[in-house]
């Protein structure tokens, strides 16, 4: 399935569950992604790989959802960035 379609599905589900009611802003949306990353970190610290996978999925769902809300074609942007990354030097010329 295309990433764009998954983003649309994630956003429609979030809207249907009431997550886009009221005023929303970009920074608040980024913090929701950050909170999912924190939950993933905690799952890793507990060595709970089932939960790690679930939280990583939540990160992706949040990113796709917010990209739809803010009118960003995440599939197009990911593809552009991947093409650009092919042109970058090994480890971006950094030691570590």
Q: What is the pLDDT of residues 52-80, one digit of tens each?
A: 999 999 999 999 999 999 999 999 999 99
pLDDT tens digits along 8-39: 999 999 999 999 888 889 999 999 999 999 99
User: Looking up tokens 């990433």, which residue turns up?
Assistant: 3
Instruction: Give the single-character DSSP code of 5.
Output: H
pLDDT band with cut points at 50, 70 and 90 for residue 1: low
Spatial distance between the Cα atoms of 60 and 56, rounded to a whole number of angstroms: 6
CATH number, domain with residue 54: 1.10.287.1080
Total tally of structural domains belonging to the chain: 1
Range of the domain at 18: 3-93
């Amino acid at each position: 399935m295309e990433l764009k379609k998954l983003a649309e599905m994630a956003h429609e589900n979030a809207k249907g569950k009431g997550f886009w009611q009221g005023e929303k802003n970009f920074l608040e949306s980024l913090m929701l992604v950050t909170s999912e990353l924190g939950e993933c970190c905690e799952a890793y610290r507990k060595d709970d790989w089932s939960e790690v996978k679930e939280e990583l999925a939540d990160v992706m769902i949040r990113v796709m959802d917010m990209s739809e809300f803010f009118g960003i074609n995440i599939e197009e942007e990911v593809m552009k960035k991947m093409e650009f990354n092919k042109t970058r030097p090994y480890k971006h010329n950094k030691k570590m």
